[in-house]
């Protein structure tokens, strides 16, 4: 009888442990950013920020992003992986199909060089990809630096600034407050030459 009682307790403990429902989503192992989508700025709608539109038509609202340094940018094509966030059932936005945690993310827009040739210019509006960056980031000025036997263009904007190489590939992003590695990297290049001044945050 005593042995049977001990056996019954052990069986009860076994089922108690393995029947627990862990609702907090975890990142799947081996994530390689296999889902593709585009970032849409939905701040014009009440309670909305950025949504990710996937190739199969889903509208995802990120709750958490594993890479805290990654910044969502309107129109950016991205590769990512995600799990549903079951802790946040409903959002204020109500334009999304699902609230998610992003477990892996990288930009496809900024990882492909825009040109094979290094561009050296004092008139960025005459260079296609630089002109598009002016429209995208609305900077107050652009500086040019010598960089790895080529050139680097610093797009100074608010709240963040962006450094691009002379082929149109983003090198890094300077976030607020300005105490990160990207800023240190740009400062190490010396004094840049101002090649463009604009109205910046007027829009």
Every domain of the chain and the residues it spans = 31-107, 124-197
pLDDT at 90: 67
| 31, pLDDT greater than 70 | no
Length of the chain: 203
Mean pLDDT of 46-70: 88
Which of 186, 197, 193 minimizes the C-alpha distance to 164?
A: 186
* Closest to 173 measured CA to CA, from 97, 79, 109, 95: 109
**What are the tens digits of pLDDT across the range 144-193?**
999 988 999 999 998 889 999 999 988 898 887 666 788 888 989 999 99
Phi, psi dihedrals of residue 44, rounded to the nearest 5°: -70, -15
The share of the chain scoring above pLDDT 90, in percent, equals 34
The pLDDT > 70 percentage for the chain reads 76
Contacts of 20 (CB under 8 A, 6+ apart): none
Q: Kindly report the pTM of this predicted structure.
A: 0.46
Domain 31-107 CATH (choose: 2.40.50.500, 1.10.645.10, 1.10.10.10, 1.20.58.1610): 2.40.50.500
What is the per-residue pLDDT for 45?
80
pLDDT for 15 beyond 60: no
Average pLDDT over residues 61-87: 89
């Amino acid at each position: 009888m005593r042995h049977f009682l001990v056996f019954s307790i052990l069986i009860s403990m076994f089922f108690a442990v393995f029947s627990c429902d862990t609702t907090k989503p975890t990142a799947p192992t081996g994530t390689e950013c296999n889902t593709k989508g585009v970032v849409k700025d939905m701040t014009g709608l009440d309670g909305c920020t950025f949504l990710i539109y996937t190739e199969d038509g889903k509208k995802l609202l990120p709750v958490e992003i594993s890479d805290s340094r990654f910044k969502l940018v309107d129109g950016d094509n991205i590769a990512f992986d995600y799990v549903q966030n079951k802790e946040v059932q409903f959002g204020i936005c109500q334009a999304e199909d699902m609230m998610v945690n992003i477990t892996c993310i990288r930009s496809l827009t900024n990882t492909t060089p825009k040109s094979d040739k290094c561009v050296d210019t004092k008139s960025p509006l005459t260079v296609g990809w630089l002109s598009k960056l002016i429209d995208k980031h609305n900077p107050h000025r652009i500086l040019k630096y010598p960089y790895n036997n080529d050139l680097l263009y610093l797009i100074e904007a608010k709240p963040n600034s962006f450094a691009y190489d002379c082929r149109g590939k983003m090198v890094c992003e300077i976030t607020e407050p300005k105490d990160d590695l990207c800023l240190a990297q740009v400062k190490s290049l010396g004094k840049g030459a101002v090649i463009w001044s604009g109205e910046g945050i007027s829009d």
